[in-house]
Amino acid sequence: MNRFIVVVCFFIGLLLLASLLWLKRTDNLSTHSLNTDQQLSENVAEATSTNIEGANSQIIERTFPRKQFQPKTDWSDKTMDFNGTQLSYKFGEGNPSEAALLPEQYLPRNGKQGMPYVTAKAEYQLKAFLSDKNLLELLNKCVNYLNDNMAAQNPDIPVNQMVSVLDNKDVDIENYLIIDKETGRKMINPESDYRMNDFLNTLNNPLTRSPVVIECFGLNRMQDFDELQRKFHALGREYTHTGKGMSE
């Protein structure tokens, strides 16, 4: 009988020990699960924060630097050594006599095309175009608008690798009207002239149903824009001498 009681107590002790061990293991698992969940939450929060910061950084990087334009319209007198002779250049007087051409040399004549040549009239036309108050407003509204569109349409190209539609040097008469060292004659800077022509054509492309200029300059400003284009085209015709030529 005593032996039986000892055996029963022994088994009860084993059951109690097993129960204690199981409870301890369950507590450890719960603690581990809690720690894991907490760490996972921290990792998710950190990743989310990083993604948000990255997204904000991309938004900032897609913003094209703002351009503020102020055309410069004063062309200073200049002197240049040309083939051993000091030539003097003044605004509105065409070319010095030592380098000037006769009209029959640059105007179209008897089927012969005219050639680019800066006349006194062309100089004043350039100054009038750059001085137009509507050009200043057009530049400050539409260059930034086109730059932002360019950045949005080319998301794979960093903004700092893009070239602005126009810069202030393109509306500086000192850079627009230059002297050709090979001929000693004044000339229109082809780069600035091309960029301005491309800018105006982009704003009013005849192939588009709704000109871009309406979006950045305003529908009620089309007459002002047309007048700017007229001045620019008149300058081009006077400089390149296209159109009616000379007769014998």
The Cα 227–Cα 39 span in angstroms is 67
Same domain (yes/no): 141, 35:
no
The predicted pLDDT at position 207 comes to 81
The predicted pLDDT at position 47 comes to 42
Same domain (yes/no): 101, 18:
no
In a domain, 66, yes or no: no
Alpha-carbon torsion, ordered 72, 203, 201, 73, to 10 deg: -10
Same domain (yes/no): 146, 112:
yes
Q: What b-and-e string marks burial along 27-53, b requiring 16 or more CB atoms within 10 Å of the CB? A: eeeeeeeeeeeeeeeeeeeeeeeeeee
In a domain, 247, yes or no: no
Same domain (yes/no): 100, 215:
yes
In a domain, 5, yes or no: yes
Nearby residues of 166 by Cβ (< 8 Å), 6 or more positions away: 67, 69, 139, 143, 195, 196, 199
Same domain (yes/no): 2, 90:
no
Range of the domain at 42: 1-61
In a domain, 245, yes or no: no
In a domain, 119, yes or no: yes
The predicted pLDDT at position 62 comes to 61
List, for the chain, all residue ranges whose pLDDT scores fall below the cut of 70. Answer: 1-62, 243-248
Same domain (yes/no): 83, 198:
yes
Same domain (yes/no): 83, 181:
yes
Same domain (yes/no): 112, 54:
no
Same domain (yes/no): 92, 214:
yes
Same domain (yes/no): 19, 136:
no
- Enumerate helices (H) and strands (E) in the chain, giving the number of each: 8, 4
Looking at the structure of the chain, the number of domains it has is 2
Nearby residues of 136 by Cβ (< 8 Å), 6 or more positions away: 69, 70, 71
Same domain (yes/no): 53, 163:
no
The Cα 214–Cα 188 span in angstroms is 29
In a domain, 178, yes or no: yes
